[in-house]
Amino acid sequence: MATETQTGAAEQGAGLAFHPMDQFIVKPLFGDGAVGLFTVTNVTLWMALTVLAIIGLMVLGTSSRSTIPSRIQSVAELCYGFIRKMVEDVAGKDALPYFPYVMTLFLFILFSNFLGLIPGSFTTTSHIAVTAVLAMLVFLTVTLMGFIKHGAGFLSLFWISSAPLPLRPILALIEVISYFVRPVSHSIRLAGNMMAGHAVIKVFAAFAPMIILSTGIGLIVTPMSILAITAIYALEVLVSFIQAYVFTILTCVYLKDALHPHH
């Protein structure tokens, strides 16, 4: 506590360690070297845990194949039914071949989000690099599939035939812009939500040890920050599911556009 004796104003700031963004740092698991393309990092660890959790639920949980399901098998069936129904309802019956693809995205995001809520963990979905790849996968799939299935007819997605003729070019311009903004909003929505919540929790966590520095104001600040961490954590649990759901349902909506581009 050398700094505290030196300057008055800097004392409190130096005593409380604010590093809300440190949790997002990618570092090698073994050694201290630079992060190369194939380096085993904390990203690798938490993605591996995500994969293992998904295998645990969807493969090991259903290994008994019982007609009367166990608890874990019920959960796996619930996920299956939930996403399958979503694909069927939103994108239509002919989108069912893409169900495993949508299921992959949903389960990966869901488990990454929830594993990221474990204190001290690394949230892979809080990184733009990760969510951008997910969003670009959806965008490219949808665009390519649209052109393969409908050829140039896919462009009728942008030509709204139900609108009055003079409005159509303007609407087409807006539609094209919104089409290309899709992957951006799709990826930033997920990463932004995850990052913001985790950063806020970390900021409140930094306020929590206030009672060690000052028994005066600390008596108020410490309980309040702990309360705030609890509340935000509860919110984050909700957000973790909702963001996975939103990402998946938007994927289905985009799939519908590719399969049925005519308004």
Partner 1 sequence: MATETTAAAQGHVSPLALEEAGKCVDTHGGAIGLPQLCGEWMGNQVFWLVVALVIIFFVLSRIALPRIGAVLAERQGAITNDIAAAEDLKAKAVSAEEAFNKAEADARTAAQAIIADAKAEIKGDLDEAMAKADAEIAAKAAEGEKAIAEIRNNALANVTEVAKAATKDIVAAMGGKADAKTVNAAVTARMKG
Which stretches of the chain bind partner 1, using CB under 8 A? Answer: 1-4, 6, 14, 19, 21-22, 24-27, 34-39, 41, 43-44, 47-48, 50-51, 54-55, 58-59, 62, 65-67, 69, 73, 76-77, 80-81, 99-101, 103-104, 107-108, 124, 126-130, 133-134, 137, 191, 195
Residues shown for the chain? 263
Neighbouring C-beta atoms of residue 91, cutoff 10 Å: 24
Residues 6+ apart with CB under 8 A from 184: 135
Smallest separation (angstroms) from partner 1 to the CB of 130: 5
Q: Which pair of structure tokens corresponds to residue 137? A: 């996968």
Residue with Cβ nearer partner 1 (41 or 261):
41
C-alpha distances in Å from residue 204, one per residue of 1, 20, 160, 214: 22, 9, 49, 17
Residue with Cβ nearer partner 1 (126 or 261):
126
Smallest separation (angstroms) from partner 1 to the CB of 176: 27
Smallest separation (angstroms) from partner 1 to the CB of 242: 20
Q: Report the C-alpha gap between 195 and 7 in whole angstroms.
A: 34
Residue with Cβ nearer partner 1 (58 or 258):
58
Smallest separation (angstroms) from partner 1 to the CB of 101: 7
Bridge partners of residue 28, in order along the sequence: 41
Bridge partners of residue 41, in order along the sequence: 28
Residue with Cβ nearer partner 1 (133 or 176):
133
Smallest separation (angstroms) from partner 1 to the CB of 140: 13
Residue with Cβ nearer partner 1 (191 or 232):
191
C-alpha distances in Å from residue 91, one per residue of 102, 243, 252, 253: 11, 19, 5, 6
Supply the DSSP symbol for 31: S
